[in-house]
Structures are given as structure tokens and as C-alpha cells.
Structure 1
């Protein structure tokens, strides 16, 4: 006996909802994966080749420091991007703003791959590099908050941590893609070929990836929470003004909570890569291979931590991860400083595993700190202010500390940064059961 049209419609409703959620999850993941691919391509290039190509210093240390300054420029730009895109994300909607942020990032990254070096156009080369690096920061500043909201505002009850995990997987995949491509180039090209043109290839590949991301994002719908806010006429005229006036405390606590994530990641990747190749004399391909191995553990830690944050709460998971991160700073000198490949790989694995543990709950935690009418702005600003505090100057400071005091000083820097995050998390409320509608 055939079922009636009404019963078939009822039966198909869960399937349609599941399809919609799957599409939303993929859209939140693919966007952050592409954006972080773009961002990490520059980070890897800064550690390996940006200094010699764009800065004419005779000293290798001076070149590295100059490259790390350009690396930090994007972190200054990211809060500006979160203010700019957050305004439109809270006023116009999540979907269109995410499309715009992806375009800004993709165009900036692709153009970096086309900028001639200092030998070709002189001082104009580093100027153009800095402008485009600033554009990367603007784009990424608008990306993460929207992607996190896309996932969490569509999540079913009790699973926001799990849904918020998918944009958090983007950095792991983006890093593996960028470093994997650099690793492949290191295996197939000579040093002269790599420094001449090979390093540009990962930047140019960004254009193809951005086209894929735009295709996916143009097919998603607006989030239910934002639609409800429009119906209730809750939008504010200037979201950043409302954020500063009424929500500055959770913004500050969210930024402090993010410091540990950024510090663990960029000390482990950018600084350690530069130090491992220039001081420990690892080959470029062997150190990139160790990083790709370690990032797998970061990816494995992400769903584990997200699941635990739904079950036990955001704060307990973060406190445990941050305390472990404080202790991990003491392992830097004996492990990384050993110059032994197994011990260096162990150090990188520990740090990036802990990065995954502390980073995963943020996809739900930061959106949960804010009401719908300032959520895009608030989550993005907290996330990117944490980047200024924890990442913008981290490789630069680590380079100086290593030169003057050794790796023990760099390890102490990691521990202090993690302690600041612990203070932020201890001061904030538990948000697992917060309402997002």
C-alpha cells in the first residue's frame, strides 16, 4: 500500500534538514580550510624564503626578523577585518559576508605569488608585499567568526561544540595542504629553483581553491538565529559600538582565552621551522615532513576536545589543556634543542596536539559569549585580538629570545602566554547551555 503525499512529505523533512546541515557543515569547514591554507602558505614562505627574496640585508638573522615583521602585519589587520566584516555580518547577514571575506583573502594571496622580488623592483617589492599581507589579514579577520556562526547557529541542542568543531578542523587541513605542497616542491625542485619561482606555486594555487569555496558558499542559506533577529528587529545600527559599550568584558576574556592557541601553533610551526632549518640544520623537506606528521595529531585532538566540551563543558576542557600547555613550555629546550629528529618530532606533536585541544572548543565558546545582534563582530574581534596578543609578534619575540637566551627562554614565553589564557578562562562563565536564538 503506497503512502500518502503528506506522510511522504513528513518523512522527507528530516532528510532535507540533514542535507541542509551537512551542506552548512561543509561550507563552514571548506571556507576556513581555504583561508587558513592561504594564511599558512605565507607563514611557511616567511620561515623559508621571504627574507632573502624581499629584504636585502646581508645578515640571515636580519632577513628572518624582517620576514617575521611582515608575518605580524596580518595579525594587526585581522581585528580590523573582524570589525569591518562583523559589521556587515551582523547587519546584512552571515552568508554574503563570508563570500566577501573569502574573495579578499584569495585575491591577496594570489597576488603575493605574482609580486617580483627586491632584485627586480627594489623597495617597491616589500611595500607591495606588506599591502597584500595586510589584505590577507583583513580577509581572515572576517572569515572565522562567520564560519563559526554558520556552524553553531545551525547546531541542534547539546551539539554546538561538535558542530563548532568543523570550522576548527579547517586550520589543520589548510596547514597540511600548504605544508604538503611546500614539502612536495622541496622534494622535486633544487634550492635555486625553489627560491627563484617554486615558492610562488602555493600562492597561485589559492585561486583555484577560492573558486571552489565560493561555489559551496553561494549555495547555503542564512542562519536561523540571524533570521529570527531580523524578525524581532534586534539588529543594531553599529554593532562594534554596541560591543564596546555593553560586551567589552567577554570580548577581552575571549581574546585572552585564544592566546594559548595562537602561541602554541605559531611557535611550533613558524619559529620552530625557521630555527630547525637555520640553526639545527635540518633539511627543509625533513622539517616540513615532521610538521605534517605533528599536525595530524592536532586534527585528531580537535573532535576529541569538541566532544568533551559538549559533555563536560567548555571551561573544564580548556583548563586541562591550558595547564598542559603551561607545562609543555619546559619541554622545548630538551626536546627541540636536542637536534634529534625523534625528539623534535615529539615536541612538535605535543604542542600541536595541545593546540587542537585548546582550539576546538573555541568554535562554540566565542559565539556563545555574545547575543545574536553583535555575535559576528564579538566572536571575530575576540578571536583576532587573541591573534595580536598570541601570534603577531610570537615568532619575532621567539627569534630574539633564542638569540639572546636560548630555547629555555622561548619555552618560558610559551608557558607565560598559556598562563594568560588560563586567567581569561577562569574569569569567564560556562557557556555550554547558553541560548543562541
Structure 2
């Protein structure tokens, strides 16, 4: 077993790398809600422009399966570390390039096309990132504490969101609305170059995980991991996909769509919505590892089921609070949603990776993560915007979230809680069905 120093270094690399990639992803999400509609999809109806901007947000999710297929496979064949360096570079370069894009006023519809292409590249990089980041920390740690160690990758999204919205908020208060729309938003994208260089420096110093090294030493690396996942790990894959749907939609509501809802439906200042998301994201940074650690003690399925039911109920608290148009009420509503999301997100990484055998973990986890994103997070802001425009009633939004909760509960029922003493460092001699398939 590698020493504590290697474990802490892997945890730091996993957390910092995913945070940097999610900064890139979140800075796009915030910009889509606040400025991209006017800059790249001009329309006389602001809600229509936002709808089109969120359609490019969805592209980043739709492209994730390609990253999951390509880099998930490579992660099980050539190793976790090499793939994670490549995925970080792809996302970073795409984000920096968005900051240099001309707008619709400069080159017409070509601007929107280029934006979609770069958003696609962001999604490919992130699609290959998550599975490896989870394994990077969890495969160095004690299997009995996998919930905590795997949560390093889960802290990345709120930390990246915190950084992204913090930068947007700082730019917003330091310049006029006209300057922010004209050029200020670009600064947030260009800053990603510095952050990505820092992430690459950390990851370049890493060792390969002991689990992959044991598989490589035994000569048992898979030659067709995607085929093996679909033929021997079907139940595991289905459980892992379904368990991600509700958390993705919940996060899209309280970290992305809330910016549009607060400013365009409630008519409150943009800074109020950003402050609520910032506070919620800051709290998540601490709650997610705690939730991961608690899942090691209480069981991931139990925690997941309870938190999913809470997610289905929370809109009936949040929307009445938000309609008071009070800053404290808005903050409380968003904070509650993100606290519930933490209870789901903390155990999620370990829960998903534990569904698959060690030699197929990168592929299986990446496929589950990216395929779930297509039916969950990809269309969530788009559907929230459409439902609001169509029904002008938050009950339609609550019903949508409730439906995804039912889907996730089915995934939890199909999944499993592994024996925490199960030894996974020694790879099997030959491909075998996952314990989830055997149950």
C-alpha cells in the first residue's frame, strides 16, 4: 500500500484538477445564464435568447459520452495519470479560446457555431476527467473509507462553481453592466489558462494508482473494456446511470437555472442570485467530504435514498421562499437545495465506482457519468426554461424534479453497497460479471 503522502497528493490532485475543470464548465454556465443570450443568440425576447444559450450548455453534456468512451477506455488500458493530463489540457484550451471569440455582432451566426464547437470540446474533456479523478484518490485509499477519499472529485464542481461565480461577481461589481457585457466576461475565461497550468503541474508529479499498477503487472489490462462493460456489467451500468439523474437536475436548478429564474422571473438583482449560489457552493465544499465519510458508516444506498426523497420535496419549500423576493429567503432556499445535493454528491463517486470490477472501473464509471449527464444535466436548464415559459408556474418545475427523483430511486434499488472489507487491489484473472450483475 502506498504511503500517506502519496494518498494526500492524489487527493489534492483529484480535487484541484476537477475544480479547475469545473471552473471552466461553470464559467460557461454562468455566462450562458447572464450574457450569452444577448451576445451570441440575439433575440427580442430575453427568455428566448436564454433558451438558445442553454442549448449550447446542453452540448457540453451531450459531448461527454464521447469523452467517456474514448478516455474511459484509455484509462483502463494505459493508466489513470496519463489520461487525466490530456483531459485537463482539452478543457483548458477550449475555455481559453471562448474568451477570445468574436460575438454575433462581429461575425454573425459563425460566432454561435464556434461557441458550440468549443463547448463540445469542454464536454469531451470533462467526460473523460471524472472517472479518472475518482479513481485517482479512491484507489490510493483504504477501501473501508472509499466514500471519503473518492469525494475529492466531488468537491471539484462546487469549488469550481464557487471560483467561477466569484470571478463573475467580482467583475460585475468592479465595472458597469455595459463594460461587463462588452468585454468583462472574457476575463473569466482567459483566467483559466493560469489555473490549468497549475493543475497540470500537480498532476505531472503523480504516481500511477496501486490498483492499476497491480492490474498492469499481472498482464490483465482489458483490450476491449467498453465491450466488456456492456456485456458483463449491465446491471451495474444501469444502476450507476440512473442514480446520477436526480442529482444532476437538482444541481442544474440550484446552481445554474436559479440565476435565470431570479433575474427574469422574480426581477431581483443579479448579485442576489450569485450571492446565493456562492454561499451554497462554499458550504458544499465542506459538506460533500462529510457526506462521503458518513456514507462509509451508514451505507451509500441508504443515504442516497433519503437525500433523493428530500430533493423531491425541497421545491415546495424553495419556490414559496423565493417568491417573497427577499435576499435571506433566496439564500436559504438555494442553500437548502445545495445541502441536499451534497448528501447525494458526496457518496456518489464511491457508489458508482464500486458497481464495477477494478479492471473496468475507469470505463464503467466514465460511461455511467457521461450517459447520465445526457438525460439529466444536459437538458435540465433547457427544460426548466421551457416549462417556465410554457406554464408560468413553478409546480411544473417541481414535477420535473420529482420525476427524476423516481428514476434515481430505481437506480439505488438496482445498485449495491459493497462489503467495506472487500479486497480490490488484486485484479481478477479473467473478466467476470460484477457483483451487481450477480445479485
Q: What TM-score comes out, normalization by structure 1 length?
A: 0.94
Q: Tell me, in whole angstroms, the C-alpha distance in 1 between the residues paired with 2:36 and 2:424.
A: 43
Residue of 394, 397, 408 corresponding to 1:407: 394
2:3 is paired with a residue whose SS is: helix
Query: Once the two structures are superposed, what CA deviation does each residue of 1:297-321 show, in whole Å capped at 9, x if it has no partner?
Result: 3223212211111112111111111
**Deviation of the 1:147 alpha carbon:** 0.4
Q: How does 1:38-437 map to 2 (within 5 A)?
A: 38-405=24-391, 406-431=393-418, 433=420, 434-437=422-425
Q: Tell me, in whole angstroms, the C-alpha distance in 2 between the residues paired with 1:351 and 1:275.
A: 15
Q: Tell me, in whole angstroms, the C-alpha distance in 2 between the residues paired with 1:255 and 1:390.
A: 10
Query: Once the two structures are superposed, what CA deviation does each residue of 1:37-86 show, in whole Å capped at 9, x if it has no partner?
Result: 10000000000001110013222121011001000001010111011101
Bigger shift: 115-124 or 226-235?
A: 226-235
Bigger shift: 399-408 or 213-222?
A: 399-408
* Superposition CA RMSD, Å: 1.3
**Deviation of the 1:387 alpha carbon:** 1.2
**Deviation of the 1:264 alpha carbon:** 1.0
- Contact (CA 8 Å) 1:25, 1:166: kept in 2 or not? yes
- Contact (CA 8 Å) 2:275, 2:331: kept in 1 or not? no
Q: Tell me, in whole angstroms, the C-alpha distance in 1 between the residues paired with 2:424 and 2:330.
A: 43
Change (3 A) 1:435 1:362: farther
What residue is the counterpart of 1:9 in the other structure? none
Q: Tell me, in whole angstroms, the C-alpha distance in 1 between the residues paired with 2:333 and 2:419.
A: 32
- Contact (CA 8 Å) 1:33, 1:173: kept in 2 or not? yes
Q: Structure 2: where are the runs of 5+ without partners?
A: 426-439
Change (3 A) 1:157 1:370: closer
What residue is the counterpart of 1:8 in the other structure? none
1:316 is paired with a residue whose SS is: helix
Q: Structure 1: where are the runs of 5+ without partners?
A: 1-13
Aligned residues: 423
Q: Tell me, in whole angstroms, the C-alpha distance in 1 between the residues paired with 2:53 and 2:279.
A: 25
- Contact (CA 8 Å) 2:148, 2:290: kept in 1 or not? no
- Contact (CA 8 Å) 1:313, 1:432: kept in 2 or not? no
What residue is the counterpart of 1:27 in the other structure? 13
**Deviation of the 1:333 alpha carbon:** 2.9
- Contact (CA 8 Å) 1:104, 1:139: kept in 2 or not? yes
Bigger shift: 26-35 or 266-275?
A: 266-275
1:200 is paired with a residue whose SS is: helix
Q: Tell me, in whole angstroms, the C-alpha distance in 2 between the residues paired with 1:220 and 1:300.
A: 25
